Amino acid sequence: MASRPHAPTGARTAPRVVTLTPSPAIDRVYSGDGIVPGVVNRVSYQNSYLAGKGLNIAYGLSLVSPHVKAVVPLGAVDGAPPHRGWWPDVADGVVEVVPVSRPVRQNAIIATVDGHTTNLNEEPPSLDRAEWARTVDRTLAMIEWIGADRLVVGGTLPRATETGGHVDLGPLFESAHALGARIAIDMSGTALSRYARHPLVDVIKPNLSELQGIAHDTLRTFGDVVEAARAVIRRHGSPLTVVVSLGEDGLLGVRADAVSWAPALAVPVVNTTGAGDSALAGVLSALDHPTDPVHPLDEAIAIGATWGSLAVAHSTTRPPQLPVRALVATEPVQSHQALAEPSAIRTVSGLTGAHA
């Protein structure tokens, strides 16, 4: 079967999306020749900015839609109240700050000339009951305000100050669903395992290692990935789209009745952090309002692979421009083809840059 290009045949309806980043961070980006444990490593400072999965996804979507909001519970930055200067690349009116008492966490990103990215991420500060309630209320208010048809929750979940356990997303999902919003998640670890089974979640975006974690199996071929994704779908019990970022192997989308794969673009790798966020933003820009009703998953995956690939060519997690049209075409999945990046090790290149 031949590759199938996916360019919009008509005007695509602009997505209306609210994202929630429960644990945003200030990313401080450095570049260097390489990292050697146990010795002094010289690096050059590049820049600092407010980041997080939901914020990165909202940024990408805001390039193609005026109907995007990014909710972030945010404390002091370097001892001062947060201000617009920490997210200068994001359009006015996109970021909705919920003030909280604890300072925002700080992450270090070290990008080396060999294309590898090392992330040093702080644990997120906890939120008390009132702060989390305000965060949920603001998220629901934004869904209602813009008439959002999609809520995306991305990144690490904070712990509740009172209990020490992670905050509960269930009530938020139920209220968002009642307002007409579908639910997508982009998270890892126990949070992914828990909420990938939630009946109101209809899109999840693990990378290869994260999918292996919830599949409890080693994934060596494209066929292994498809079967692992379908096992997740069977356990979920409701319609679910699993979007898997595969690094240099591209982007894979799996539904109960469909599989779509698009290769990654060949681009110079500068910083892989946030590539998966850009890929998911690309997918969501088309998935809910496709211009190709016959092959909607193909269209979404082709755009997602394009956006994710272009993201790694920039020093920050948010490339300055993203195309409306896909620059790659979907291709048939070769089930027995080995993956370039084995899932037994942490992926550090391609479309799977981590941003927890």
Judge whether 348 lies within some domain.
Answer: no
Q: What is the mean pLDDT of the segment spanning 78-82?
A: 87
Q: How many domains does the chain have?
A: 1
How does residue 135 score in pLDDT terms, banded at 50, 70 and 90? very high
**Domain containing residue 67: CATH number:** 3.40.1190.20
Judge whether 93 lies within some domain.
Answer: yes
Judge whether 180 lies within some domain.
Answer: yes
Segments in the chain forming alpha helices (H): 53-62, 129-146, 170-178, 189-195, 208-215, 222-236, 275-287, 296-311
Q: What is the mean pLDDT of the chain?
A: 89
pLDDT higher than 90, residue 351: no
Long-range CB contacts (within 8 A, 24+) of 118-123 = 118/35, 118/348, 119/273, 119/354, 119/355, 119/356, 121/25, 121/156, 121/356, 122/25
Judge whether 151 lies within some domain.
Answer: yes
pLDDT at 253: 98
Q: What is the pLDDT of residues 158-198, one digit of tens each?
A: 999 999 999 999 999 999 999 999 999 999 999 999 999 99
Domain containing 196: what range? 17-23+53-99+124-311
In sequence order, the 6+-apart residues with CB closer than 8 A to the CB of 25 are 50, 51, 52, 104, 105, 106, 107, 121, 122, 124
Q: What is the mean pLDDT of the segment spanning 231-237?
A: 93
Judge whether 45 lies within some domain.
Answer: no
Q: What is the pLDDT of residues 15-35, one digit of tens each?
A: 999 999 999 999 898 888 888
Judge whether 76 lies within some domain.
Answer: yes
CA neighbor of 173 nearest in space, from 152, 194, 147: 152
pLDDT at 126: 96
Judge whether 46 lies within some domain.
Answer: no
Judge whether 274 lies within some domain.
Answer: yes
pLDDT higher than 60, residue 348: no
